[in-house]
């Protein structure tokens, strides 16, 4: 069974330690996965802007260039589109590159290479040419990072056939999904929310893989299903704990990958609870929350006791001012309010 607990506060970590579980940060889990890949897989290499800087991509690549050399861990110039093409071409020639692109805001400059080449070659060649490229990229809220450095575009990449999209929320999944992504056989968008790097959780020291397309229930419940993506997993679990005091039993489901999406697990939960709230770290306008809502309405409408609710970013550019950020970014309060509305919903005339 996969590890399902989300360690939110100090008490959770202390209890896990008492159980003999090894707890590390999200960034340490990514660093360990890459170190193990470089040590055991000669075809794996890393490239990206700033991966050998003192910050080491928020600490997730620290020391790797010194340990494995600059031929395996390459600091690159600011040339996103060209470097994506180099990484994709090397993948087609038998290597297993991990291209680290810190700012997802600038990945649209690489869309031709990602959507029209990396994602298509396996299909266009009848499987004769594959492109096992992993693109690590950071999504979500910064600290006053504003409109051009705070976007969460993970939902955008689900629209391109041939791409897979991972959105790990825990250290366990960050390590396991990254190890699995290298062997997926095609391009993988690996999306990391920047606020997750300090979060701690259980992750084994040995290598292991988390399968794509398998959601996990983070907390069981009977009244409402909350499908939470990336950072919102933590907000949803906190909300579910607090809602218990109000007599509301919320089930929290983490899809872990949004392409492939584990629709069966989502439908099974909605069948049990009759209500669905989707909480995403990205925008609600045509985002992954819209897709999840649509699939449940198409395939499980008969289970619903209330309309589907969504929590996500509004359709406006990200503000920089702290007070405006507070209004822009949803979280615990919005999830709790949405769950209450669903549980208390009464159709007109009833």
Among all residues, which ones are annotated catalytic? Answer: 149
Q: Of 118, 133, 146, which Cα lies nearest the Cα of 183? A: 133
Q: Which residues in 232-253 are b (16+ Cβ under 10 Å) and which e?
A: bbbbbbbbbebbeeeebbbbbb
Please name every residue paired with 259 in a beta bridge, in sequence order, or none if there are none.
165
Work out the burial of residue 316: count CB atoms within 10 Å of its CB; fewer than 13 is exposed, 13-18 middle, 19 or more buried: exposed
Place of tokens 């997750």: 196
Beta carbons within 10 angstroms of residue 153's beta carbon: 17
How far apart are the C-alpha atoms of 97 and 176, rounded to whole Å?
17
Q: Where are the alpha helices (DSSP H) in the chain?
A: 10-18, 26-40, 56-59, 64-68, 80-92, 111-113, 121-124, 171-181, 232-244, 263-273, 288-300, 322-328, 332-343
Q: Residue 201 in 3-state DSSP? A: strand
Q: Compute CA distances 92 → 72, 102, 259, whole Å.
A: 17, 23, 22
Which are the contacts of 92, defined by CB distance < 8 A and separation ≥ 6?
121, 129, 130, 131
Q: Are 118 and 131 in contact (CB under 8 A)?
A: yes
Q: Are 101 and 114 in contact (CB under 8 A)?
A: no
How far apart are the C-alpha atoms of 333 and 328, rounded to whole Å?
13
């Amino acid at each position: 069974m996969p590890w399902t607990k989300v360690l939110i506060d100090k008490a959770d970590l202390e209890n896990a330690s008492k159980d003999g579980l090894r707890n590390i940060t999200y960034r340490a889990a990514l660093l360990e996965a890459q170190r193990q890949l470089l040590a055991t897989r000669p075809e794996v290499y890393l490239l990206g802007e700033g991966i050998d800087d003192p910050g080491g991509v928020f600490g997730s690549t620290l020391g790797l260039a010194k340990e494995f050399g600059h031929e395996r861990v390459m600091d690159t110039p600011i040339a996103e589109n060209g470097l994506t093409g180099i990484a994709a071409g090397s993948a087609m020639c038998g290597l297993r590159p991990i291209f680290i692109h810190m700012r997802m805001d600038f990945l649209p400059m690489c869309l031709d290479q990602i959507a029209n080449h990396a994602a298509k070659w396996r299909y266009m060649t009848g499987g004769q040419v594959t492109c096992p490229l992993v693109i690590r990229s950071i999504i979500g809220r910064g600290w006053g990072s504003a409109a051009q450095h705070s976007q969460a575009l993970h939902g955008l990449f689900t629209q391109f056939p041939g791409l897979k999209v991972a959105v790990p929320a825990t250290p366990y999944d960050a390590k396991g999904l990254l190890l699995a992504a290298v062997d997926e056989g095609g391009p993988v968008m690996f999306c990391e929310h920047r606020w997750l790097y300090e979060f701690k959780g259980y992750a084994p020291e040995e290598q292991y893989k988390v399968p794509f397309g398998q959601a996990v229930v983070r907390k069981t419940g009977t009244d409402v299903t909350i499908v939470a993506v990336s950072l919102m997993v933590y907000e949803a679990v906190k909300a579910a704990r607090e809602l218990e005091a109000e007599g509301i039993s919320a089930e929290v489901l983490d899809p872990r990958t949004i392409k492939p999406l584990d629709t069966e697990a989502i439908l099974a939960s909605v069948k049990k609870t009759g209500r669905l709230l989707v909480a995403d770290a990205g925008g609600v306008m045509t985002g992954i929350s819209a897709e999840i809502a649509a699939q449940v309405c198409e395939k499980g409408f008969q289970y619903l006791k209330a309309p589907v609710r969504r929590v996500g970013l509004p359709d406006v550019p990200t503000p920089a001012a702290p007070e405006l950020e507070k209004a822009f970014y949803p979280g615990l309060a919005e999830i709790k309010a949405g769950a209450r509305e669903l549980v208390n919903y009464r159709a007109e005339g009833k």
